[in-house]
Structure 1
Amino acid sequence: MPTSPPPPASPCPSASPPALSRGLVLLLAVACGAAVGNIYFPQAVSPLVATGLGVPPDTAALVVTTAQLGYAVGIFLLVPLGDRFPYRPLIATLLGITALSLLAAGAAPELPALLGASVLVGVTTVIAPVIAPMAAGLAPADRRGAVNGTLLSGSLGGMLLSRAAGGALGEWLGWRAPYLLAAALAGGIAVLLARALPTTPAPTRQRYASLVAGPLRLLRTEPELRRSCWYQAMVFGAFQAVWTGVALLLTSGTYGLGAQAVGLLALVNVATMACSPLAGRKADRRGPDAVSLVAILDALVSAGVLAGGVLGGAVGLTALVAGTLLLDVAMSAGMVANQVRIFALRPEARSRLNTAYMTCGFLGGSLGSWLGARAYTGLGWLGVCALVALLTSLALGRHLAHRRRTVTRPSAARPGTPPAP
């Protein structure tokens, strides 16, 4: 009696991604927060740097600028390496170099040395945009949004807590202490991740030049990537405009508070960390576009609430707390939705997709910060609120135009016309 041929061999087990445990997700979220915090705590200690090194405050503020510029360079030059090298040695190496750079910054005898070390810190602390595509590849498709939301909560926690902790520690032990503590934290996390991360193969063997050019090609060929980049650039630009302007408002005659008040306001908004996993679960169930729309509308409403800050006193502070809370939630929820959308495009190019997305978002944030300072100088706090309304309206207009095209496209096709490839 003839027998049926044996079934085809199953794919190599290595083709299935290793499991991403809850404990590892939490460790990765802590790593994201520690890395992101390295480019935000200098905002709180730059006045202390000015006093400690005997330079003008506006000159000392260059430590913030150089770290941010270094971060942009690192996103563009190093994040694409996640598509070329295994993640475990790449992440551990970047964290190790970040720790050494932070040590050099903490020991800098003069401002030029500190600025040089700050550039290196910014370039190598791009851990969060490296981890996000790795986690997207390891997580099941129906949990990708939730995992990404948890990682973003860690990043937001680092962004918000680092300002308050850096300012308090700097006031207590001097401006060098936050750098030295951050160095110890980065080194410890590097050791933990070198042991905890699973072994993953490199998605591609492309040359480095091709990888670096990849984000530009993806921006040209992937309309969903361009749309996500536009949303993030506008909302993150509004976010940065507010946090630049609110520092000027709180230290002005309207409130007469010190620089630590900005850190305390950021500390209040740590509550937004709980919203990112929720946004991720909603994106998993209802799709990223629904979450994007809510996030953009939330940011638009925040502009009106923030306008109450011009009143000063307890009423004004309440408006600032509520408005920044709304805007922080909008920024984090929108980012979760955008990354769920782009990571579904090309699994083999997630790091390059994230490079394009993060670079565009960071450029939008830098522009928003610059415009926010100019708006406050020329028009006061209401000018900053108007800028937030304008930027979020541009994001909303793009979203509504996309929905209109999506709805009308099927009806525009003639009966019997095959769908476009």
Structure 2
Amino acid sequence: MKVVVVGCTHAGTAAVKNILANHKDAEVTVFERNDNISFLSCGIALYVGGVVKNAQDLFYSNPEELASLGATIHMQHDVEEIDTENKVVKAKNLLTGETVSSSYDKLVMTTGSWPIEPPIPGRELENVLLCKNYNQAKEIIKRGADVEKVVIVGGGYIGIELVEAFAETGKQVTLIDGLDRILNKYLDKEMTDILEDELRNKGVTLALNETVSEFSGKDGKVTTVKTPKGEYAADLVILCVGFRPNTKLLADKVDMLPSGAIIVDEYMRTSNPDIFSAGDSTVVHYNPAGDSRYIPLATNAVRQGMLVGKNLKENQLAYRGTQGTSGLYLFGWTIGSTGLTELTANDAGFNVGTAWLVDNYRPEFMPTTEKVFMKLVFDKDSHVILGAQLMSKYDITQSANTLSVVIQNKMTVEDLAIHDFFFQPHFDRPWNYLNLLAQEALATFD
């Protein structure tokens, strides 16, 4: 059985390893346009901030490892055409210009995503950069070393992490976002108000509800970022406004969302049964809303890639979906979120209820404790929990994983309110703070 894998970051690497482990007769050929695989782009900010000293540590596999497992690896090969009727992939060797063709029985599309590049005048100026892959990370480090004024465009996780990294290294940082709050997709206003105050206290300039209209510069280098409301000095600009799926190769050949994300079933098959798709090029089943969405996260990618390897010949292991669970560390705050926010739950048409609670994570008689800021989002009709957000100077992020399981299993407010958690004063209270949060929600039913 000939298998061709196009693209090899998180989903591709997971797919190759699991195909070779589960199907001894598989002849796996990989085409990757870059000169590296498996780069953890979520570590770029850690590299910028000096937490990670060596960028090579952000790789967890390499072409040699996959080759040793039995795959044929074509690095720096850009796939230019896929003939789905005759099952042939054509790729160009970016070093020699040679064209290579490979036939397949099964095709695995793990082509990932690419940063959205708004058509802003001045985009071509030097020092206006993107943030996604290893080479871009090296460029950010190189150019960021000698600049003073950094402008980050986009207030999602990557943008916020870069804001912290540059602020911690003494740069003058401005964050511009077209929405009125940072982290709008992940946290509600109660949480983002606290974090925005923290950013301002650290000297970060927040330009929210503003969209970039122009980059201007001198001698080909950016000096100013302009919005309809103001101008911001910049020696370096990093665009972090989101990602789009890399799926043009299969346009009109498989079913996709309007965004271009490839639609798959629970076994990672596309509308063409001989084509699988996984990772940032692919939809996920979003459990809280019960629909298909585009949520490009490494966690989704590695799970989907594994499932490709399991289900290549027959349906063996179904996808369980995702809650979009995520964690963030920002200026000493640990932040976890999962499922729907109040805003997105309303958009999804639920009869939304919420509970907000601030409490200590362990008893006050202990030498130290920390407050936990918590919000629960639930359906007032069914009492099913839809989402949750937590924030503290104490590490509460694993509780986001607990709540992810709660949402995936459609547990109710009542279930969580009296769920069995251990008590030990070093770690929590007789009622765990998740119990207390659900009990706060329970009180709204009276």
TM range, normalised to the smaller chain?
under 0.3
- Which structure ranks higher in relative contact order (CA pairs < 8 Å, sequence separation ≥ 6)? 1
More helix by share: 1
Q: TM-score, normalised by structure 1?
A: 0.25
Q: TM-score, normalised by structure 2?
A: 0.24
